[in-house]
Chains A and B, each alone.
Chain A
Amino acid sequence: MPSRSPILVAPSLDLSRRRFVQGLAAGGVLAGLSTPASRAFAQQAPTANESPPVLRGNEFDLLIAESPVNFTGQPGMAITINGSLPAPTLRWREGETVTLRVTNHLRETASIHWHGILLPFQMDGVPGISFNGIAPGETFVYRFKLQQSGTYWYHSHSGFHELKGMYGAIVVDPAGPETIRADREHVLLFSDWTDEDPMRVFAKLKAQSDYYNYHQPTVIDFFRDAARDGLVAAIDKRQMWNEMRMNPTDLADLSSATLTYLANGVTPAGNWTALFRPGERVRLRMINGAGNTFYDVRIPGLKLAVVHVDGVDTEPVTVDEFRFGPGETVDVIVEPRDDAYAIFAQSMERTGYARATLAVREGLSPAVPALDPVEWLDMSDMMGSMSHGAANQGSAMAGMSGMGGMDHGSMGRPKHGGMALDHRQHAAAAGGLAVPSTIARHARTEYGASTDMRVDMARTNLDDPGVGLRNNRRRVLTLADLHTPSGPIDSRGPGREVELHLTGNMERYSWSLDGLEFGQSTPVHFRHGERLRVILHNDTMMTHPMHLHGLWSEMESPDGRFLARRHTLPVQPAQRISFLVTADALGRWAWHCHLLFHMDAGMFREVVVS
């Protein structure tokens, strides 16, 4: 049993880079130093190998307060729920009504949002949209009936409280028998931590958007390329990027230059460990609760059977690795035989990793793989299908000139054709909307200072694992692999299309939809009861996990076939994705990129269902 005594570490003057990235072995919430508010819960504070407490039942008292933490050697304050980071895991049952009394002991307004849970909009927890927030010292009572089961999570929707520690898992057990057979399960919530004030981080990005990127192309890289591929090739490789003032290594806004990556609130050095007995089928409910980090997750030595995504069962698909962004959840089944396996979650920009261990007993520390090398964004990330996915700049450029009349027909055609014909016919009956449109319709507001790139011919390929995972010889989960066996919740075809473009200006660090930041925007109105198609068209070079509150996003293929029910849908650079929505939940809802800094910069819309 690991010690529960407080971990007091004086900040070392020669704090090494390694310690910063790896974190303190026993970092986390410092129980003995807790504030009066959180002291009552101090005994629940997890140390290295403990999971957050699990709270069961129908009635819950949750307390939001500051707690002292130390992940890196530098003491700081986290914002926690019941003194725990991650927050307690809430275990609910489908069909029951839960009551959650949430008390705010901060000096500012707070909130909790139940991510992916269907509920009345007043219970959704977004200050300024669904309610007023929870004022300091006040208690807000959330009450709603659970209409679903699966793996979900909850987090703050106020400022950057989430990045300061306000996130926890929700597991809703089905009313009937569990559909996924497992002998044992563990919740694994990945997150990221910064010792800095997140608003200060934001201000730095505003002053210099590549502040945290230490993987930029250098002169040395240039000479290395020139020596290997020739001078012309080395120049070609860079020309378009430089001409366009875009950075091919702009994979994430933050990096381990400020972030420490956490698994269940534990640093890589802390090595959070999940136990199993050989021969067991183990279900890992993995949640990305990070503020800014896409994680690429794998367990060397084990195949991952993906069975459940965003709280919805999916037809099992066996992979070596998957990428998920903030807001997404992925449940996998593994069948470990050996003593110990590393659960390795490297960040998309390849500057660090979260790590845990799956082992037969505590104290084992299997080898952690090396980080993969940084891969440059390629032309398909900048130009969509214009580039034919060519990584070679020269050929992409040559292609451009000859591609004016390129075969657009192929863009509209199914990439994995021939399936679910009945469905297509059905959709065709809806009148001209059988397949999602492929022609970019840029908003008038995308032609100003807010938008540094527009993709005219976006790619619609869902079978791309994304930059950094394309040629790694591992089987990586893609959106094309996801199939919700129960089918769509609504058999109607879409009555109309709503097209929204994901936009930004990296140099100015501005993020928006249709070139309009939230403050300049008007809501998107869904008529109550309508079935419509939403198209998200990414005019940026980053991947955005788009989360629509209150309503399911039923992702479809480029030929209009239903694929999977999601609550958070990652849209890759220069990609165009569509999904159907049944607007069955009256009220006002939030819709935003779940990268917290993008959300706060204005990549956010209010949705009105009425």
Chain B
Amino acid sequence: MFAALTARALSTALLALASLAAQAQNDHAAHAQTDPRPAAPAAAPKTDAADAQAAPAASASDAAAPPAMDHGDMRMPGGPPPADARDPHAYANGQQLGAGDYAVPGVPRLTLADEHFFASLRAETFERRFTRNGDDSTAYDLQGWVGTTFDRAVVKAEGDIGRGKLEDARTELLWGHAIAPYWDTQLGVRLDSGEGPGRQWLAFGVQGLAPYWFEVEATAYVGSAGRSALLLKASYELLLTQRLILEPRTELQFFGKDDPERGIGRGLAEASVGLRLRYEFSRQFAPYIGVERAGSFGETARQLRAEGDRTQQTRWLAGLRFWF
């Protein structure tokens, strides 16, 4: 019962986040609407292909009249097109690429890079973590994609290797689809492995770039037996110089239900906040050092304490950020 409620709360939180993202896109609209005469935009233009020719004449002769345009929208992307938006195919007059009048027979139509697949694999973090009590580990956070500009297969893999074995790993296979200039939705599956029984989840999330250049990921998960989870990540790049870059980074994990076999309690289970200072020998090769404060909370923390483990720790980091 409670679990279901939490799951609902989590999904609501996620939706809120997604709408926040959308909201951010529209912030400018709000900004621009401090316009003292906001009434004009409502009388939106009725221009279409047919009477487009009349428009210029009107604008020339009727200079003082407010123009028929949407000031509220300014220039920011996001939101649906207005009803009178121009049809981008209106000039085609029935012609197709490589077919129709004067198409050269036997010549396949031109294809450019927008129809090619590209791929990249990036290690956001790949690091050794040092703690005061000697509880050192190696951690990785990889993200790869293959596909076109707007649709991609995305692989995310994150995990810890300590004391010679995989302690905790999360691997996701997602379909990433661009829904806004800076935002992708991601839909797919997640597999948890490491200590304790494996878990499988369905994943749905958003990833993108928020205003002021914050990299944001928010993913909600639904597992078997009523399990649910929410993962939030955010990071920022502060260019000290063109190559020396300080990156604050935070990650929050919530769960909808206790999972004692994996040492997880409901609610906020784990959180970390770190600072990494990297030097980009090239964009693709950047060693870094850093420090991170990580903690467990609630039921998760209680279980750790019961096993005699620490719930909070400061880690010193040395790692490599790279991609290809």
Chain A interfacial positions (CB closer than 8 Å to B): 121-122, 126-132, 202-204, 206-208, 211, 214-220, 242-245, 382-383, 400-405, 407-410, 412-413, 431-457, 496-499, 505, 507-510, 512, 514-525, 539, 586-588, 599-602, 604, 606, 608-610
In angstroms, Cα B76 to Cα A39, docked, is 56
Most buried by B among A446, A516, A524, A588: A588
Q: Is the CB of A216 within 8 A of B36?
A: no
Closest to B180 in A: A449
- Decide if B188 is an interface residue (CB 8 Å cutoff): no
Q: Is the CB of B57 within 8 A of A126?
A: no
Q: Is the CB of B77 within 8 A of A443?
A: no
- Nearest-Cβ distance from residue A238 to partner chain B, whole angstroms: 10
- Nearest-Cβ distance from residue A166 to partner chain B, whole angstroms: 18
- Decide if B67 is an interface residue (CB 8 Å cutoff): yes
Q: Is the CB of B149 within 8 A of A510?
A: yes
- Nearest-Cβ distance from residue A577 to partner chain B, whole angstroms: 15
**25 pairs across A/B with beta carbons < 8 Å?**
A127-B110, A128-B107, A129-B98, A206-B120, A206-B149, A219-B239, A243-B212, A245-B182, A402-B35, A409-B59, A435-B60, A440-B69, A443-B87, A445-B81, A449-B179, A450-B150, A456-B71, A497-B52, A510-B149, A515-B88, A517-B149, A522-B91, A525-B92, A588-B103, A610-B102
The one of A211, A218, A410, A519 in contact with B242, judged by C-beta atoms closer than 8 angstroms, is A218
In angstroms, Cα B100 to Cα A266, docked, is 45
Q: Is the CB of A412 within 8 A of B120?
A: no
With a CB–CB cut-off of 8 A, which chain A residues contact B309? none
In angstroms, Cα B213 to Cα A244, docked, is 9
Q: Is the CB of A245 within 8 A of B213?
A: yes
The one of B119, B122, B209, B240 in contact with A219, judged by C-beta atoms closer than 8 angstroms, is B240
With a CB–CB cut-off of 8 A, which chain B residues contact A220? 240-241
Question: Is the interface on chain B under 10, 10 to 19, 20 to 34, or 35 or more residues?
Answer: 35 or more
With a CB–CB cut-off of 8 A, which chain B residues contact A523? 91-92, 95-97, 100
In angstroms, Cα B250 to Cα A242, docked, is 20
In angstroms, Cα B271 to Cα A565, docked, is 63
User: With A128-B107, A409-B64, A508-B178 in contact, is A519–B112 under 8 Å at CB?
Assistant: yes
Which 3 interchain pairs have the tightest Cβ spacing? A409-B63, A128-B110, A404-B35
Closest to A449 in B: B178
| B window 86-138: CB within 8 A of A | 86-89, 91-98, 100-104, 106-115, 118-120, 122
User: With A128-B108, A602-B114 in contact, is A244–B69 under 8 Å at CB?
Assistant: no
In angstroms, Cα B71 to Cα A401, docked, is 10
User: With A244-B211, A383-B75, A497-B56 in contact, is A456–B104 under 8 Å at CB?
Assistant: no
Q: Is the CB of A405 within 8 A of B40?
A: yes
The one of B45, B47, B106, B110 in contact with A126, judged by C-beta atoms closer than 8 angstroms, is B110
In angstroms, Cα B74 to Cα A539, docked, is 12
Closest to B110 in A: A128
- Decide if B298 is an interface residue (CB 8 Å cutoff): no
Q: Is the CB of A206 within 8 A of B118?
A: yes
The one of A242, A433, A453 in contact with B53, judged by C-beta atoms closer than 8 angstroms, is A433
Closest to A131 in B: B104
The one of B106, B107, B149, B179 in contact with A508, judged by C-beta atoms closer than 8 angstroms, is B149
Most buried by A among B52, B111, B178, B181: B181
With a CB–CB cut-off of 8 A, which chain A residues contact B36? 401-402, 404-405
- Nearest-Cβ distance from residue B148 to partner chain A, whole angstroms: 9
With a CB–CB cut-off of 8 A, which chain B residues contact A131? 104, 107
Q: Is the CB of A442 within 8 A of B209?
A: no
Most buried by A among B28, B35, B110, B115: B110
With a CB–CB cut-off of 8 A, which chain B residues contact A446? 77, 81, 85
Q: Is the CB of A436 within 8 A of B97?
A: no
Given contacts A218-B240, A405-B37, A587-B102, 7 further A-B contacts (CB under 8 A): A437-B56, A439-B68, A447-B85, A518-B112, A523-B96, A601-B114, A608-B100
In angstroms, Cα B69 to Cα A437, docked, is 13
- Decide if B70 is an interface residue (CB 8 Å cutoff): yes
- Nearest-Cβ distance from residue A221 to partner chain B, whole angstroms: 9
- Decide if B4 is an interface residue (CB 8 Å cutoff): no
Q: Is the CB of B60 within 8 A of A412?
A: yes
- Nearest-Cβ distance from residue B291 to partner chain A, whole angstroms: 19
- Nearest-Cβ distance from residue A136 to partner chain B, whole angstroms: 16
User: With A453-B75, A525-B91 in contact, is A507–B181 under 8 Å at CB?
Assistant: yes
- Decide if B8 is an interface residue (CB 8 Å cutoff): no
- Decide if B196 is an interface residue (CB 8 Å cutoff): no
Q: Is the CB of B95 within 8 A of A243?
A: no
| B window 22-75: CB within 8 A of A | 27-28, 31-32, 34-38, 40, 45, 47, 52-57, 59-60, 63-64, 66-71, 73-75
With a CB–CB cut-off of 8 A, which chain A residues contact B87? 443-444
Q: Is the CB of B66 within 8 A of A586?
A: no
In angstroms, Cα B110 to Cα A260, docked, is 30
Q: Is the CB of A518 within 8 A of B182?
A: no
- Nearest-Cβ distance from residue B116 to partner chain A, whole angstroms: 9
Closest to A398 in B: B34
User: With A131-B104, A456-B69, A518-B112 in contact, is A432–B57 under 8 Å at CB?
Assistant: yes
With a CB–CB cut-off of 8 A, which chain B residues contact A601? 112-114
- Decide if B260 is an interface residue (CB 8 Å cutoff): no
- Decide if B5 is an interface residue (CB 8 Å cutoff): no
In angstroms, Cα B109 to Cα A510, docked, is 20
Q: Is the CB of A444 within 8 A of B81?
A: yes
Q: Is the CB of B45 within 8 A of A439?
A: yes
Q: Is the CB of B112 within 8 A of A219?
A: no
Most buried by B among A438, A457, A519: A519
Q: Is the CB of B102 within 8 A of A588?
A: yes
Q: Is the CB of A451 within 8 A of B112?
A: no
Q: Is the CB of A445 within 8 A of B95?
A: no
- Decide if B310 is an interface residue (CB 8 Å cutoff): no
With a CB–CB cut-off of 8 A, which chain B residues contact A599? 112
User: With A443-B87, A586-B102 in contact, is A452–B60 under 8 Å at CB?
Assistant: no
- Nearest-Cβ distance from residue B99 to partner chain A, whole angstroms: 9
Closest to B84 in A: A441
User: With A401-B32, A522-B89, A588-B103 in contact, is A454–B56 under 8 Å at CB?
Assistant: no
Q: Is the CB of A516 within 8 A of B88?
A: yes
- Nearest-Cβ distance from residue B64 to partner chain A, whole angstroms: 6
Closest to A496 in B: B53
- Decide if B283 is an interface residue (CB 8 Å cutoff): yes
- Decide if B80 is an interface residue (CB 8 Å cutoff): yes
- Decide if B79 is an interface residue (CB 8 Å cutoff): yes
In angstroms, Cα B90 to Cα A525, docked, is 9
- Nearest-Cβ distance from residue A108 to partner chain B, whole angstroms: 14
In angstroms, Cα B242 to Cα A204, docked, is 18
The one of B67, B78, B88 in contact with A443, judged by C-beta atoms closer than 8 angstroms, is B88
In angstroms, Cα B51 to Cα A437, docked, is 12
Q: Is the CB of A442 within 8 A of B63?
A: no
Closest to B113 in A: A600
In angstroms, Cα B239 to Cα A435, docked, is 47
The one of B53, B88, B209, B212 in contact with A444, judged by C-beta atoms closer than 8 angstroms, is B88
With a CB–CB cut-off of 8 A, which chain B residues contact A443? 85-88
With a CB–CB cut-off of 8 A, which chain B residues contact A400? 31-32, 74
Q: Is the CB of B52 within 8 A of A456?
A: no
The one of B77, B91, B212, B238 in contact with A451, judged by C-beta atoms closer than 8 angstroms, is B77
